[in-house]
Chain A
């Protein structure tokens, strides 16, 4: 799920930037530093949308660098256990399939795919029901439930399931072509 939250960060700025456009420099550096990063607590920082406040700078002894506490608004993406989300299938193999919901990767193991769906190898590996009516392959859109998250220093991975009511394929690219 996407959220709009306020975060705070201490920004260090080199004295050469002190001048009329100090604030602009500070904001540009903030965007460069935090956009695209990921933390376990807040998830992926997608985009900064505004600056709430820039606090008083503190000169650091010995270096001349100044630290400014900056409060900023941003859009973050944070997956939660138990959340139901739509995702695009990116890879299918006999172990299961990978899907992406925004910046996060979700793995659905073949144990968590309904039992009546069988793995079919070939040019386009896929999972298909015995009557062939439902097919999961690359680029399929699926609705899944996140049942576990693993937090890395710079990334979040999720485990999902489609073995529940109202979960599974929403559209498959093969049907239209």
Chain B
């Protein structure tokens, strides 16, 4: 249980297993779940009966909170953010919340400013600009 105590996403302490795992942004989850839902629809008349409550709630949630709807935009977001040496988890928090200012970004993902990482305010600003451009042209 000691590992549990130290868990803190703000310092990127989320356990080795999840740190190495592939993290998904809400918009990516929406694409995956919608695809799966369509498959179920083809197989049965009433797909909502087939899926678990967890699935249903997750689908509703990611549809509501997806910043990017278009699959190309989703791919671009990941591509752009992955240029900035972010951890998977940080990348997804930024992609999900789309902070508008450098200050906000640091408040959302405090770990991007911790020591030993080459993120000055300018780099973060540029990253946020790139992100807002995708949104604009979607």
Residues of A within 8 A of B (CB): 1-5, 35-38, 44-47, 49, 75, 77-78, 80-86, 88, 100-103, 141, 143, 146, 149, 164-166
Contact = CB atoms under 8 A, between A and B. Distances in A.
Contacts of A83: 9-10, 93
A81 B11 CA distance: 10
B93 A1 contact: yes
Interface residues of B, number: 42
Contact of B53 (A4, A36, A86, A164): A36
Contacts of A84: 9, 93, 97, 108-109
B52 A1 contact: no
B32 A47 contact: yes
A153 to B, nearest CB: 15
Given A38-B54, A86-B97, A2 B107 contact: no
Interface of B: 7-11, 13-14, 17-18, 21-26, 28-29, 32-33, 36, 51-55, 57-58, 61-62, 64-65, 89, 92-93, 96-97, 99, 103-104, 107-109
A170 to B, nearest CB: 9
A21 to B, nearest CB: 15
Contacts of B9: 1, 80-84, 146
A2 B29 contact: yes
A44 B24 contact: no
A138 to B, nearest CB: 14
Contacts of A146: 9
Contacts of B62: 2, 102
Contact of B64 (A5, A38, A78, A88): A88
B58 A103 contact: yes
A2 B11 CA distance: 18
Contacts of A2: 23-26, 28-29, 58, 62, 92
A3 B97 CA distance: 16
A78 B18 contact: yes
Contacts of A82: 7-11, 13
5 contacts: A1-B9, A3-B23, A82-B9, A88-B64, A102-B61
